[in-house]
Amino acid sequence: MKLLITGSPGVGKTSVSKMLAEKLGCKSLNEKEFSLEKRIGEFDVDENELVVDVKKLEQELKKFLKKEKNIVLEGHLLCETKIPIDFAILIRTDPEMLESRLESRGYTAEKIQDNVFCEGIDYCKKHIERRYPKKEIIEVTSKKTIKETTEHILKEIEQRGKIK
């Protein structure tokens, strides 16, 4: 099974993807690590972030996925890619909760505002819906714990007949 997990920074993508991969017996791959390994992006020191060419990321992921059967891919830019997957999982959270999480991670006020704004206008949701059929999209709201969110996703996949 090939899963894509996306959402705004701070919604729990990395933690959920690791737990989901463990429960499904899959590999887990982070878009940032993949981009660095493939030398797709460049680090912007001023913004303190990796700037990735999404088209190059998409091309490299398509090549990579030809060799993979069971993998959980995660990253916020993945909502802007169209790659061969079974499900695109969008994790959402309350904007106020997101703001609090990003503050605790030391994000700048500007970055917090940008990410909370994107969550508020459904940025990732709009991109996912343009790229994947509705039947391949699973939208979940981040629960109180990573385990609860992961179990909710597993239940959604099971209900759609992909796991037992």
| pLDDT at 98 exceeding the cut of 50 | yes
| pLDDT at 129 exceeding the cut of 60 | yes
Q: How many domains does the chain divide into? A: 1
Running DSSP on this structure, what letter comes out for residue 162? S
User: In sequence order, what are the residues at sequence separation of 6 or more whose Cβ sits closer than 8 angstroms to the Cβ of residue 114?
Assistant: none
Q: Is residue 162 part of a domain?
A: no
Could you read off the pLDDT of 8-33 as tens digits, one per residue?
888 889 999 999 999 999 999 999 89
Could you read off the pLDDT of 102-126 as tens digits, one per residue?
888 888 888 888 888 888 889 999 9
What's the mean pLDDT when you consider all of the chain?
Answer: 90
Q: Is residue 26 part of a domain?
A: yes
pLDDT of residue 124: 92
pLDDT of residue 143: 73
Q: Which domain holds residue 26?
A: 2-157
| pLDDT at 58 exceeding the cut of 90 | yes
| CATH value at residue 61 | 3.40.50.300
Q: Is residue 164 part of a domain?
A: no
pLDDT of residue 67: 93
Tally the C-alpha atoms within 13 A of residue 46's C-alpha that lie toward its C-beta.
0
Question: Please, are residues 140 and 89 in contact by the beta-carbon 8 Å criterion?
Answer: yes
